[in-house]
Homo-oligomer: A and B are copies of this chain.
Amino acid sequence: MAGSSIGQRLVLTSFGESHGKCVGAVLDGCPAGLELDEKDVQVMLDYRKPGQSLVSTQRKEGDIVEILSGVFRGYTTGAPIAMIIWNKDQNSRDYEQLQTKMRPGHSDYPALVKYNGFNDYRGGGRFSGRLTATHVMGGAVARKLLRVALNVETHSYTTKIGRISMRDKFDLSMKEKIYANEVRCPDQNAAKRMRNAILDARKSGDTLGGIIESTTYNVPVGLGEPIFGSLESDISKAIYSIPSVKGVEFGSGFAGSELFGSQNNDPYVTRGGKITTKTNNAGGILGGLSNGMPIVMRVAFKPASSIAKRQSTVDIKTKKPVILQVQGRHDPCVVPRAPPVVDSLVSLVLADHALMGGFIKPVL
């Protein structure tokens, strides 16, 4: 495959650019018989949508999805599901200076070299965070499929913005609180402080990064394949397709590498006749396979590269230093818009493996 597709049995293909006509997705391999309409997808897109609050970009996009194929009389048919969102509020004039002035932290420079100047640079073109809407289109279907077929539930939420962390460990009882605030942190106190930190950064023309955690419940034992088809391999590959992601860890992750084996191993116990583990340092994955415990992953987002502050850079034509002031409407922090994207990618990978492993049948 050439880079715009992911998955083996359930394949998502993404197309479109930030300031082109549209962004779209084709999801091939979804089982027939899943009840589906635009609302199932729209609800997740709305959580990702720009222009909703002060913590995100002021670009206003309706982001209304249209299903073009693969659904007949309210059910999926087994044929590829094409979905599209027409772009509306792009303002490309803001970007003309970017043809030659390379924005630090963005793909501008390597993309210009790679495509010898033929790439659509407006708003980052193909490299824009706007393309994560295509992840959500496909991911919303995968997430519903997992829920309907296997009762699997994925929840992603902000656990850190800049240096401000959520206190408590997430559990399923908090799921309704995730979208109760603008930053998508189920700890409402932390959420307030995170919001303030973002607004402060915004005021000073700067941006913040953060961490999103994702927990998936009810995953059957045995999803994944040894070695190159490990769940961690495929989930991290998917997650790193999100712009700004610079770190992915599972279970105890980087912190776990400081522990002794006797501390980090999760002892097996039986509970209600079922085998489970006392702790979950493994994050639900052993040897690349799901072990029945919740799959826990954390994603590090760098602070958004588009800052309002003046930055020094070079002009690619003159090869001389210049001062750049990025125009356009940008996110002071992309983290609050990312939980549905993380949900989507985790769901796509798990659904793909559930299909390959025979956990979900080709017709529901």
A: residues with CB less than 8 A from B are 1-11, 13-17, 20-22, 24, 26, 28-29, 32-33, 68-70, 72, 75-82, 84, 102, 104-107, 109-111, 113-116, 118-120, 124-127, 131, 160, 162-163, 201, 205-211, 221-222, 224-230, 232-234, 236-238, 240-241, 243, 245-254, 256-270, 273, 275, 277, 281-283, 286-292, 300-307, 309, 311-314, 316, 319-321, 356-358, 361-363
Contacts and interface: CB of A to CB of B under 8 A. Distances in A.
A32 to B, nearest CB: 4
Contact of A301 (B69, B119, B257): B257
Contacts of A69: 15-17, 20-22, 24
Contact of A268 (B102, B120, B127, B248): B102
B2 A11 contact: yes
A110 B290 contact: yes
Contact of A111 (B206, B289, B314): B289
A238 B247 contact: no
A119 to B, nearest CB: 5
B303 A257 contact: yes
A125 B78 CA distance: 11
A246 B251 contact: yes
A227 B4 contact: yes
A41 to B, nearest CB: 16
Contact of A313 (B207, B247, B268): B268
A166 B313 CA distance: 33
A44 B282 CA distance: 30
B2 A286 contact: no
A110 B265 contact: no
A105 B240 CA distance: 26
A103 to B, nearest CB: 8
Given A104-B266, A201-B260, 9 more contacts: A2-B225, A14-B228, A22-B82, A32-B118, A79-B226, A233-B240, A246-B253, A247-B257, A264-B303
A258 B201 CA distance: 12
Given A119-B32, A236-B248, A249-B300, A289 B110 contact: yes
Contact of A206 (B207, B246, B261, B303): B261
A136 B296 CA distance: 29
A206 B115 CA distance: 52
Given A77-B120, A245-B232, A252 B356 contact: no
Given A222-B113, A290-B110, A227 B14 contact: yes
B275 A109 contact: yes
B209 A227 contact: no
A250 B256 contact: no
A229 B79 contact: no
Given A15-B68, A21-B69, A131 B257 contact: no
A120 B246 contact: no
B288 A221 contact: no
